[in-house]
Structure 1
Amino acid sequence: MGLRQDRWSSFVAKRRRRKQASSQDGSADISAQAGEVYAPQAVANIREWAAEAAAANGVALYDVEMVVHGRWTIRVYIDRPGPLNPEESVKAGECQKVSRYLEAYLDAASDLPDNYVLEVSSPGIERLLKTPEHLEMVVGHRVQLVVRTQVEGKNKFSGELMAYQDGVLSVLLDEGPNEPVDIQWADVKEARLKYDFDF
């Protein structure tokens, strides 16, 4: 029996910051603030605070995303430390604890808008792999890659990630030669964990 998909649910702890102030005409100036949050230092601060919040609660920071669609959404993804273990996923209570810890930093930040949404969740089973650290966590598991330069005549394919070292992925393709092929990480447009649910 394979792993049930509901064990990989993305538990989400959401929190909306209370509006603390408005502009003189009574409306929040979100457009002016939207450019400020993407200053490198502001982004670095949020990532640092999220990493601290995760570590303080026994989990690890996986990724941070910030989305602006009228309202700011800060998405924080947390996971178990170390190599991927399909039997262990973060729980809703852990997401809530990380969210509460991080809120104190975000509420005190002067370069965030007064009205934002914080979401803390697991990255899910078929997670995006964005960094070398992400790749190192999933060695031995199947991945799906989209590459700029075709491999075996394809730009999109799946296979087992046998190794990752010095910017090179060694992948045993699902459809291809019996030996792993080497793929430069710099040539990968998108990578994600691939899981075949067996019910």
Structure 2
Amino acid sequence: MAKERVTDIVERLVQPIAEAQHVELVDVEYKKEGANWYLRVFIDKPEGVDIDDCSRVSEQLSEQLDIVDPIPTAYFLEVSSPGAERPLKKPADFVRAVGEYVHISLYEPLDGQKVFEGFLRNYEETQLTLEIRIKTRTKEVVIPTEKIAQARLAVQL
């Protein structure tokens, strides 16, 4: 059996904490930056999270991490809002983002392009429709969901 990923273990630990605090678990990230490892947990709620929300989740998660001890090396735990460019990972994220301006990166080119930004007009399990602007005209692009490497909300410039 393959060793369980740190992010999967942390997601399982933090999910009930997030639910009890009435916040949504958006993402868990574990990565090395320079000489240090960071465990980042992103939470949100419709009216936005504040420092108290982050602090409560951080304290409770820290206690659980001390008990389970899934990370053998030293790391920094950060709990925060996903910010304006919130990642879109789950189907519910995409459904909620219909009508929003998004940034989509693909694993392989579609019509010679791997990066698209535009308004998410429709989402289905197998594809999404993006309205992009090319100079002075708009065009709809249908993107198969299996080609999506990363997706997030974007700030329109």
| Same topology, TM > 0.5 | yes
Counterpart Cα distance in 2 of 1:44 and 1:195 = 29
TM-score normalised by length of structure 1? 0.67
Counterpart Cα distance in 2 of 1:111 and 1:181 = 42
Counterpart Cα distance in 2 of 1:123 and 1:167 = 25
Q: For structure 1, which segment, 130-139 or 161-170, has the greater mean C-alpha deviation from structure 2 after superposition?
A: 130-139
Counterpart Cα distance in 2 of 1:46 and 1:89 = 22
* Aligned with 2:117 (options 127, 149, 158): 158
What is residue 48 of structure 2 aligned with on the other side?
Answer: 89
What is residue 39 of structure 1 aligned with on the other side?
Answer: 3
Counterpart Cα distance in 1 of 2:114 and 2:82 = 25
SS for the counterpart of 1:73 is: strand
Distance 1:167 1:39, change over 3 A: same
Look at both structures and tell me which one has the larger radius of gyration over its CA atoms: 1
* Aligned with 1:58 (options 6, 17, 22): 22
Following superposition, the deviation at residue 150 of structure 1 comes to 2.7
What is residue 60 of structure 2 aligned with on the other side?
Answer: 101
- Say whether residues 1:125 and 2:89 are aligned partners: no
Following superposition, the deviation at residue 57 of structure 1 comes to 0.8
1:107-146 C-alpha deviation (Å, 9 max, x unpaired): 1124323633110001110123233332222111011222
SS for the counterpart of 1:136 is: helix
RMSD over aligned Cα atoms: 2.5
SS for the counterpart of 2:83 is: coil
Counterpart Cα distance in 2 of 1:154 and 1:42 = 33
1:32-56 C-alpha deviation (Å, 9 max, x unpaired): xxxxxx9316543311111111111
* Larger strand proportion of the pair: 2
- Say whether residues 1:170 and 2:129 are aligned partners: yes
- Higher relative contact order at CA 8 Å, sep ≥6: structure 1 or structure 2? 1
SS for the counterpart of 2:134 is: coil
* 5+ residue gaps, structure 1: 1-37
Given that residues 122 and 128 in structure 2 are in contact (C-alpha distance below 8 angstroms), is that contact kept between their aligned partners in structure 1? yes
- Say whether residues 1:138 and 2:138 are aligned partners: no
